[in-house]
Structure 1
Amino acid sequence: MTETTEYAAPSRLEALRALPWRNAILAGIGATITIAILAGAADLTALPLIIAPFGASCALVFGAPASPLAQPRNVIGGHLVTATLGLLAFTLIASPVAAMAVGVGLGIAGMLLTGTLHPPAGANPIVVVLAAASWQFLLMPVAVGAVSIVLIGYIYHRIVTGHAYNVLPKR
C-alpha cells in the first residue's frame, strides 16, 4: 500500500488563525469603540443600551464583516426576532427554565425562517428571562443597540479598514 499525501485546503479555523495582525487589531479597536459608545451612553443616560450578546455581534461585524451572519439584516433582524420570541415565551410560559429553552429554540427557528440568522442573537431569550425584561426591551436595548452596532460598523469599515460591509448577496 502506498501512502499519498493530498493537499487539503485550509480549514476555516486555520484561515481565522491566519488573519493578519493589522486586521485583528483593527477589529478589536472597532469592537472597543462600539461597546464604549453603547456602554458610555447607557452610563450617561441611565438607559439600558447594552446587553452581553452585543459583544459577540461586534466580533462578527468587526472581525468578519463579509460574513453573511454579520450583515445588517442579520444583526438587526436576528436580534429583533429572537428578542420578540424570547419575550413571547417569557410572557406565556411560567417556568423560567422552560421559557429560556423555548425562547432560544423559537428564536433560532425564527431567524432561519426569516433569513436573519445571527448567532449572537440566539442568547437574547436567555437575557430576557434572566432580566425579567418587559416589552420595552425590544426598543432598548435591542433595536437601538443593534442599529448602533451596524451604523458604527459601516462607518468604521468605510473610514478605517476599507473592508466591505453590508455586502448584499448576488441575485
Structure 2
Amino acid sequence: MAPVTLRLNGIRLEPLTGAHETGLGEAASDGQLWDTCYTAIPRPEEAADYIRLALETPDRTAFAVIDEASGKVIGSTSYYNVLLPERRFEIGYTWYGQSHWRTAVNTTCKYLLLCHAFDTLGFQTAGWCTDILNKRSQRAIERLGAKKDGVIRGDRLRGDGSVRDSVVYSMIRSEWPQAKAALESKLGLA
C-alpha cells in the first residue's frame, strides 16, 4: 500500500520515518510497554531499529500515531501481510502509550485504516492476529466488528523466546457497512 496520511478527531496517522524515533521512544516509555511478553514494542533505545525493520518489511506500511493537539507521537500501527491479488490485508503492530489506553484513539485509528482500505482502495478482507494471552487486544478487535476465525497453535515466537498461539480475526467487505456504522456511532460521527 502506498504511504498516505489519514486524520480524524485530532488523531493523525502519518507514514513512519526516522524522524519519529524520539517520539516513538517516549510513547513506549509511557507505561514501560516493552515489558509485555506478547507485544513487539521497542525500548526507547530500540526505536531506530523498530522503525528500520518496519520500513524494510516489504508488505508493511507503518504509521506513527500523532496527537494533533500536542504534536506528539503516541504510538504506531501498520498495514501488513498485504496481498494485492486477493485484496487482503492485516492491521497490526499496533500499540499506544498507556495513557491513551481506553480512549477513542484505537477506535479512531482502526476506523481510518479500515475506511481507507475498504472505501478508497477497494480491499476485500481485513485481518488481525494477536497473541492468545493478549485479552485486551482481542476485546478491542472484537469491538471493531471483526469475527474470530480461530486459533493457530504454535504460530510464532514471542520476544522472550516462548512459543505463542495466535488468535486470528477477519472482516470481509460485506460486513464493513455495518461495522462502519457502529464505529461511526462510537466516534460520534453518525
**When you count helix as a share of all residues, which structure comes out higher?**
1
Q: Based on CA coordinates, which of the two structures has the bigger radius of gyration? A: 1
TM-score by length of 1: 0.27
TM-score by length of 2: 0.26
Higher relative contact order (CA 8 A, sep 6+): 1
**When you count strand as a share of all residues, which structure comes out higher?**
2
